[in-house]
Amino acid sequence: MALRVGVVGAGAIGLDHIRRLHSLIKGVEVVAVSDADPGKEAIVRTIVPSVHFTMSGGDLITRDDVDAVVIAAPGHTHADLVLTSLAHHKFVFCEKPLATDLTDAREILNREVAIGKRLLQLGFMRQFDERYLALKAIIGSGKIGDIGLLTMSHRNPSVPDWWTDELTVRDSFVHDIDVVRFLTGDEIASVHVRPAGRPSGRFDYADHLVFTVRTNDGLMANVELSVAMEYGYEVTCDVVGVSGVASLEGGSVVRWSSSGARHNGVESDWRERFGPAYDAELTSWVNSTLRGVATGPSSWDGFVAAHVAEAAYQSMVSGRETFVETVRRPEIYNV
């Protein structure tokens, strides 16, 4: 029998996920969609004509014909929606961030631990991206020796008018926290956030933020994060080892030469860059949910990201390096 899914949030990524669940992934059916904006119903029906539409995420989650939930509403709504899903023991795929508030992230972790098994997969899709996986494989092969430094950039073309510097830390930087942990297998011990360049006036703080991260083993990562770069969407990562360097370069995979110049196209947004990774993460979620288990990035990964993001926010306010308190990983997240 197909997995019957309800999707909460039919915005940019929600509609994308509804399309891939409806048309691409086998063994799953989108039976219900919820969005606070009633205008989304007509758009959703162009993808899944027979879907049940409701404005209430809570009503959707508690429906008997919804076996599992995809949360793609804005970050500040995630905690309540996840807690409702857990209260009804429903498997849930939650877009990042797990929560925009550390207290909420801790509550989700505690509830899942009390249930005694994982029910949640978090949308840290870079772990499903072929280029990041290849980078991790090179590190693991020992070809560049023990690694010491990661130099990363994360550039978004634009953000909505209501965006704040705090969201850059709590909503965007969590992807980079995940990459540092995923590639190094180490936990983050401290973070220091600094503005780079003169503010253009578009944000309260600065257009470019530089995060300097240290891990427990003394590795460093330098992350440039710019949320409104206009030219396109790009993520890069150089991993420096004692005997070599491995690089995940930005830009499209294809390069071409014409009219006396070499071109390396830039993806326009996250959909273009990470489309296959979103396909892979949701395929994996559907398959594992049908087997009655949750795999991939977990509530623990989301909680740790919220914990480091809190330290990063404190650093942004104080201007000083901020240490991240060590937290014990609950048993259910040991793999």
Ligand X SMILES: NC(=O)c1ccc[n+]([C@@H]2O[C@H](COP(=O)([O-])OP(=O)(O)OC[C@H]3O[C@@H](n4cnc5c(N)ncnc54)[C@H](O)[C@@H]3O)[C@@H](O)[C@H]2O)c1
Stretch 242-281: interaction string toward ligand X, x if CB under 6 A:
----------------------------x---x-------
Q: Which is nearer to ligand X, 95 or 234 (CB)?
A: 95
- Of the residues 40, 155, 181, 307, which one makes contact with ligand X according to CB under 6 A: 40
Q: Which is nearer to ligand X, 189 or 209 (CB)?
A: 209
| Phi, psi dihedrals of residue 331, rounded to the nearest 5° | -50, -40
From 9-17, 108-116, 180-188, 242-250, give the range in contact with ligand X by CB under 6 A. 9-17
State which H helix or E strand residue 153 sits in: strand 147-155
Can residue 11 be called a binding residue for ligand X (CB under 6 A)?
A: yes
Q: Is 292 left (phi over 0), alpha (psi -120 to 50) or beta?
A: left
C-beta of residue 82 within 8 angstroms of C-beta of residue 120: yes
Can residue 61 be called a binding residue for ligand X (CB under 6 A)?
A: no
* Interaction residues for ligand X, span 72-111 (CB under 6 A): 72-75, 77, 95-96
From 29-37, 102-110, 129-137, 198-206, give the range in contact with ligand X by CB under 6 A. 29-37
What span, in angstroms and rounded, lies between the C-alpha atoms of 48 and 85?
A: 23
- In the DSSP assignment, the letter for residue 201 is S
- Identify any residues that bridge with 7 across adjacent strands, giving them in sequence order: 33, 70
| Phi, psi dihedrals of residue 231, rounded to the nearest 5° | -70, -20
Q: Which is nearer to ligand X, 56 or 318 (CB)?
A: 56
- In three-state secondary structure terms, 228 is coil
Can residue 297 be called a binding residue for ligand X (CB under 6 A)?
A: no
Closest residue by beta carbon to ligand X? 11
Contacts of 31 by beta carbon, 8 Å cutoff, 6+ apart: 4, 5, 6, 51, 52, 63, 65, 66
Can residue 178 be called a binding residue for ligand X (CB under 6 A)?
A: no
Q: Which residues bind ligand X (CB under 6 A)?
A: 8-14, 34-37, 40, 57, 72-75, 77, 95-96, 123, 125, 171, 270, 274
